[in-house]
Amino acid sequence: MKRPLAILLLAVTAAALFATVVYAVLAATHLSEPTATTVYGLTARRLWVTTVVFVTLIGVVIGGLALARPESRFGTTSSRLGAIVALVAGLIGVLNGGLNLAVANGGPGSGNGVVGGAAALVLGLAGLAIAALALARGRRTALSNYGHYSSNN
């Protein structure tokens, strides 16, 4: 019973941290104030950023799996492939999220997708960090399997 409670607490903490960092990105770009007129519905920029967020989220999940399970039944190459997918998805998230925030001319509710842009930027940075860790772990695993890794170096 303790493990599900710990997982739930970790998930709530991660969601709160994610929301805080997204708000900090919006505040840093001076886009945190809502606009006077709210645009409802799906706009082109909202669709663009929503797609980028989903691509980046999938990359973060794949990178997390590559980091959690460096040796799968397919060998260490699947871990490296997962890390590369996370790296590419993270780069897509950072570039598109940053670009969306750079061209936005209003805050939340303006139809520019600024909240999604900030979320894509934060998820992209997380994906890049996870990919770097997974690639480093995969490199250490590959070197130790071939006998070239020494703890003295």
More confident residue, 128 or 10: 128
DSSP string, the chain: -HHHHHHHHHHHHHHHHHHHHHHHHHHHTT--SPPSSPPPS--HHHHHHHHHHHHHHHHHHHHHHHHH-SSBTTBTHHHHHHHHHHHHHHHHHHHHHHHHHHH--S-TTSSS-HHHHHHHHHHHHHHHHHHHHHHHHHHHHHHHHTT---TT-
Please give the mean pLDDT across all residues of the chain. 81
pLDDT at 96: 94
Q: Is the pTM of this model over 0.85?
A: no
Tens-digit pLDDT profile for residues 76-107: 556 788 889 999 999 999 999 999 988 888 77
Q: Which residue has the higher pLDDT, 87 or 8?
A: 87
